[in-house]
Structure 1
């Protein structure tokens, strides 16, 4: 099982649950090798469980390609077992000036969406026949909810415009709008991936997951220290609940992500959206726009161009 961002926050809680429940090969993929090694040393590993690390920065397409090649060689060389699940969990919201990736793409869009788009394309053929791809998304993607209104409503999921925010010298989108729209793109991708897998006769599942607003994660990485402190208080949580914000927790959200990855109860979860809210976990409707197939296809094709996906990299399952 491969998880991006599995060395902190919700991803780490998910990994802890997976390690406790059953023997697995787990590959932690992230851009903090020292932190990942520290986590491996801290985790209690059950008999038969093996945890490996893989350098990966999802905002860098070069890094994604290198990581995918390394993972395929690990599987082919018998270093790890057949890939059962890909958990596209890494992401975050950047504050301050607009930043850009090595490919000159806006980093919120690249790190949350575009890197995972490429990673799934490169690894889908390495998945088991009944494998799963689970995408960590966010309720902020829906402009009709309190979550979406709180950060700024998502805009049209135009891949080229989102990738080039801040490049042309025009007025940039706010950090909240960039984040919400990137997560909308993730859900559009998850649903289109589901449709293409179904048409090809594949039993691989593609699932979207909203962990709710969770303090103690990388969501506020880069935010002013006072904001990070306030967001983690019980007072802030009560206010958010009163305001109608979707609330998660490290424990419940991490455990829910683990269930989506492995539990047979979610074997038929492909093409669906699951959400944690105030201790509960279940299927919900995502934003109306997220079910727009024409937008999803347009986003898919533009994303292929942005990542320079070659014919040899594109799986027959997804054409």
Structure 2
């Protein structure tokens, strides 16, 4: 029996994905910071499909929380309560508008949530992934400044982990929320590619995949925006307009099913190091932003992120050293 760990699997695209995975009789570990909601989803899936669904308290914006969750999962694997770990879906994330805020460790919240927490989680759990396991990172078309989505949200800045983690510190002017978000997603794509390169160098058969779910306004992505903006973005008229002008569009059900396919379907066993996009009912491999293929920048991003999360020699997977 396969087991998939997914962050943010209790709402939006993640919820749609776990429902598809559960229907395929794949055991699940739901990791997130909403224990009551995760419990409700776990009960639903157990009752409907008779499978193992474990919940794991995890706030990806908190490095301390990630470390605790990783220890707990290792214990569950050791006891047999979780039988295996065959995929990690780094799905949770968000855009944080308004005044800049910071994580418990003092890092800007967008970068901490979308990048640092998942980076640490993968590093800590990679040794426990099955031989042909998969890591899937939920990215966004906003990461590409040459795309309409990237221009609408805010063109990315240099993918400098230290600068992104500390923007707005000490009263300094912070990057706008849109740029913080789009650049965090550029970093997400670069992490996926850099992990693939390191896995291939080590001779590993684990896959690392970047996934763009498209613009899905009926999820919680816009919850920080004013109510009129939320209503307009989710309206049929706006969906038609965004599709007509060339934005990457989807809905929670298709994007969730696409995420489920990437973490579990045999058809996607050989897409490591690629960028898969859900757009208007089609899931296909496409080119990501030009900057995302810069290997020198990606290596620096990776090494700087290791220092930011405080990864110790004992924590770093042997095959990535």
With over 3 angstroms needed to count, the CA separation of the structure-2 counterparts of 1:69 and 1:44, relative to structure 1, is: closer
Give me the whole-angstrom Cα distance separating, in 2, the residues matched to 1:263 and 1:34.
30
Give me the whole-angstrom Cα distance separating, in 1, the residues matched to 2:70 and 2:81.
14
SS class of match (1:83)? coil
SS class of match (1:269)? coil
SS class of match (1:128)? coil
* Aligned partner of 1:6 among 4, 9, 13: 9
Contact 1:68 1:122 in 2 (8 A): yes
Match of 2:111 in 1: 109
Contact 1:19 1:45 in 2 (8 A): no
For 1:45-194, list aligned pairs within 5 A. Answer: 45=47, 48-194=50-196
Superposition deviation, residue 248 in structure 1: 1.1
* Aligned partner of 2:253 among 251, 254, 270: 251
Match of 2:236 in 1: 234
Superposition deviation, residue 24 in structure 1: 2.2
Q: Which runs of 5+ in 2 are unaligned?
A: none
With over 3 angstroms needed to count, the CA separation of the structure-2 counterparts of 1:45 and 1:128, relative to structure 1, is: farther
SS class of match (1:117)? helix
Superposition deviation, residue 144 in structure 1: 0.5
**CA deviation profile, 1:232-258 (whole Å, cap 9, x unmatched):** 110110111122110011111000000
Contact 1:89 1:136 in 2 (8 A): yes
Match of 2:307 in 1: 305
Superposition deviation, residue 48 in structure 1: 5.0
Q: Which runs of 5+ in 1 are unaligned?
A: none
Aligned positions, number: 318
**CA deviation profile, 1:57-99 (whole Å, cap 9, x unmatched):** 1000000000011011111110111100000000010111111
Contact 1:141 1:184 in 2 (8 A): yes
Asked if residue 268 in structure 1 is aligned to residue 270 in structure 2, the reply is yes
Superposition deviation, residue 34 in structure 1: 0.9
Match of 2:211 in 1: 209
Contact 2:22 2:49 in 1 (8 A): no
Give me the whole-angstrom Cα distance separating, in 2, the residues matched to 1:28 and 1:188.
25
Give me the whole-angstrom Cα distance separating, in 2, the residues matched to 1:297 and 1:45.
45
Match of 1:18 in 2: 21
SS class of match (1:69)? helix
SS class of match (2:171)? coil
SS class of match (1:129)? coil
Q: TM-score, normalised by structure 1?
A: 0.98
Give me the whole-angstrom Cα distance separating, in 1, the residues matched to 2:241 and 2:203.
47
Root-mean-square deviation over aligned CA pairs: 1.0
Contact 2:46 2:52 in 1 (8 A): no
